[in-house]
């Protein structure tokens, strides 16, 4: 990644994460990204739960990933996470998945902000500031 603020989150591959060939099933990377994104916010000082309690939610509306090498059962992966872009109603997170310091995948998740009625709304100003401080 570039000079952006990032957090490294360890993820140990469980047997249940793999397919019949012993490779991490591609859909499980979405779960790895979610774990990393949640921990990223927590380590930066703001939890997703707090945002929900205020009536805001950040559903994923796009998910992109590129795979370079497979991960297998019991591998210790590092999911490097950063805020990539902040808009008035959306935020983009960027990820790199590392195995023994080698990048094996990279991706992004795009989130819009919705209220408890599932209507698109602007991100709260304090959250925009929080996110921009981590760019």
Find the DSSP H helices in the chain. Answer: 28-44, 48-53, 125-132
Is residue 49 in some structural domain?
Answer: yes
* Domain contains 58: yes
The CATH number that applies at residue 107 is 3.10.129.10
Domain that includes residue 78, residue range = 6-132
Does residue 24 lie in a domain region?
yes
Residues of the chain where predicted confidence (pLDDT) is lower than 50: 1-2
Q: Please give the pLDDT value at position 15.
A: 96
Identify whether 25 is part of a domain: yes
Q: Residue 1 falls within a domain, yes or no? A: no
The model's pTM is 0.93
Domain count, the chain: 1
Task: Report pLDDT for 126.
Answer: 93
Kindly report the number of other CB atoms within 10 A of residue 71's CB atom: 24
CA-CA distance, 53 to 125, in Å (whole number)? 16
The answer to whether position 40 is within a domain reads yes
User: Out of 8, 17, 19, 74, which one is annotated catalytic?
Assistant: 19
Q: What is the pLDDT of residue 4?
A: 72
The answer to whether residue 106 sits within a structural domain is yes
Query: Is 17 in the active site?
Result: no
- Does residue 67 belong to any structural domain of this protein? yes
Query: Each residue of 117-135: pLDDT tens digit?
Result: 999 999 999 999 999 988 7
How many C-beta atoms lie closer than 10 Å to residue 93's C-beta? 23
Between the two ends of the chain, the Cα-to-Cα distance in Å is: 12
């Amino acid at each position: 990644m570039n000079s952006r603020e990032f957090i490294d989150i360890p993820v140990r591959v469980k047997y249940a994460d793999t397919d019949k060939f012993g490779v991490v099933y591609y859909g499980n990377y979405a779960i790895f990204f979610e774990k990393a994104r949640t921990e990223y916010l927590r380590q930066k000082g703001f939890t997703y739960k707090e945002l929900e309690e205020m009536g805001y939610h950040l559903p994923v509306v796009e998910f992109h990933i590129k795979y370079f090498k497979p991960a297998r059962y019991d591998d210790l992966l590092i999911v490097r996470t950063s805020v990539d872009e902040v808009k008035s109603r959306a935020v983009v997170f960027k990820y790199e998945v590392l195995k023994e310091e080698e990048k094996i995948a990279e991706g992004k998740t795009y989130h819009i902000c919705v209220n408890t009625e599932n209507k698109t709304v602007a991100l709260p100003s304090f959250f925009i500031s929080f996110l921009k401080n981590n760019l």
